[in-house]
Structure 1
Amino acid sequence: MTTPEPQPPTPDPVSRDRIYRSPMGIVGGVLLLVVVLWLGIDALVRGEGRTQWLALAALILIVPLVSAFTLRPAVYANEERLRIRNPLRIIVLPWGQIASLRSGYTNEAIAKSGTKFQLWAIPVSLRARKKAARRSVWEAAERNAAERSERGGRGGGGTGSGGFGFGTSRADFDADGPARAESDKIIAELRDLLAHRENEESAQGEVTVRWAYEVVAPAFAGAVLLLILLLMP
């Protein structure tokens, strides 16, 4: 009787990435690329001599840079790591190597080594934050008015009018309350994922940083060509 050979263990399925990008950045990048390509191609078609070469060099330089700073940025998060695709670099941070995620004037991932990595794909909008703060105040005022009205209906002596005072807790104005800017909601999601995964064995490893040569190389070539053309008599 032959003994069946043991089967190798089935690898755990890789968790699907959550992808975060800036919709306004993408829209702005597409519009800017349309303008750049329109002007550049028009110069290539209608220009003569040196003008065509200058237009070609400018396109080789500008198109990769515009794409890098508008269309390229993205943040990928799964149960093992946070991958940050910035304009000129790709950073992979296992959750176990992240000390904190900070949100101020910019959103940043801070490694345990102290290195800071900006999240280009999740820009901070101070206008959106102010709008969310005003919405929180309005919601708190409505809840406060409803509570006073209810207590007044039961003979509690409430005035039934809106405003702030008794019955309004600090939670109504907390930055982690329900009314938050979209970028702050995303950072809260990533912080929650960090809190749950940072001590897991599968979320350990080394921080890796790679330059985006697919952006740097053509942009550098375009810059060199443009410089040579400008210096030529």
Structure 2
Amino acid sequence: MTSPTPSAQPSESDQEDRVFRSPLGVAGGVFLLLLAVFFGIDSMLNGHGNAPFIAIAGLILVIPLIVAFTFRPVVQVNGVRLRIRNPFRTITLPWGTVADIRAGYSSEAFTQDGGKYQLWAVPVSLRQRKRASRRAARASQDDPHGRTSVSASVSDHDARVAPADRTVADLRETAERLGGKPEAQGEAQVRWAYEVIVPAVVGLVLWIILAVTG
């Protein structure tokens, strides 16, 4: 899975958000939704017995989960807070509460009180990271003394860093720069996505009942 790219240019406005999401995740979600709807409709039209009802229950279960894991994940950034929307939770972190943002095998935000939250919208691709490392190694061999121009160096540096690592570095720099602002103080807020959880649970219960009684 490729890492996300910002959908807007950086802005210091407290009202205007920069939005990060995974384009490949959204594309995968569209494909999975079409696949689920196709098989669901086919079962409803051609199924026998309670198969159509099982198909409906399956769609009620599957569609919220597809939406949760593909369309929901997003990271929104403005001048006062970092908002992380994951499959089942939305976490709002004022910059003053953010201790660090790191990317290992996944991208994670750490708070001053020891909390840790994964950034689903910024997936780490080890393949892209290896590719960027190879580009950096080739560039160092081609120009061992760093004699390229400043503008070329900036664009070359971006090409030598994996997109997820570049996004995480941007978020970390923003946290360091804005963490001391008075309006960026407060407590972390976590909200569960009941609009996703409830339909999925209802669909699961219905599917189990129909499967057992069928």
> What do the CA deviations read for 1:57-80 (whole angstroms, capped 9, x no partner)?
000000110111111100001110
Residue 104 of structure 2: aligned partner: 104
- 2:170 matched to 1:196? no
The letter of the residue matching 1:183 is: A
- 2:3 matched to 1:22? no
The letter of the residue matching 1:95 is: W
> What do the CA deviations read for 1:181-222 (whole angstroms, capped 9, x no partner)?
001111111011111100100101111101101100100100
**SS of aligned partner of 2:161:** coil
Question: Would you identify which runs of 4 or more consecutive aligned residues in structure 1 move more than 3 Å?
Answer: none
Residue 155 of structure 1: aligned partner: none
- 2:144 matched to 1:144? yes
**SS of aligned partner of 1:140:** helix
The Cα shift of 1:28 comes to: 1.1
> What do the CA deviations read for 1:114-171 (whole angstroms, capped 9, x no partner)?
1110000000000000000010111111112897xxxxxxxxxxxxxxxxxxxxxxxx
Residue among 206, 215, 224 paired with 2:187: 206
CA distance in 1, matches of 2:169, 2:54: 47
Which of structures 1 and 2 has the bigger CA Rg? 1
The letter of the residue matching 2:45 is: V
Structure with the bigger RCO (C-alpha within 8 Å, sep 6+) is: 2
Residue among 196, 199, 203 paired with 1:222: 203
The letter of the residue matching 1:222 is: G
The letter of the residue matching 1:81 is: R
The letter of the residue matching 2:194 is: Y
**SS of aligned partner of 1:205:** coil
TM-score by length of 2: 0.86
**SS of aligned partner of 1:144:** coil
Residue 153 of structure 1: aligned partner: none
1:18-167 superposed matches below 5 A: 18-144=18-144
- 2:167 matched to 1:186? yes
TM-score by length of 1: 0.79
Q: Which runs of 5+ in 2 are unaligned?
A: 1-12, 148-152
CA distance in 1, matches of 2:105, 2:94: 24
**SS of aligned partner of 2:76:** strand
Question: What is the aligned length?
Answer: 193
CA distance in 1, matches of 2:70, 2:146: 45
Q: Which moved more, 1:41-50 or 1:132-141?
A: 41-50
The letter of the residue matching 1:207 is: A
Residues 42, 190 of structure 1: alpha-carbon distance in 2 compared, 3 angstrom cutoff: same
The Cα shift of 1:15 comes to: 2.8
Q: Report % sequence identity.
A: 46
The letter of the residue matching 2:202 is: A
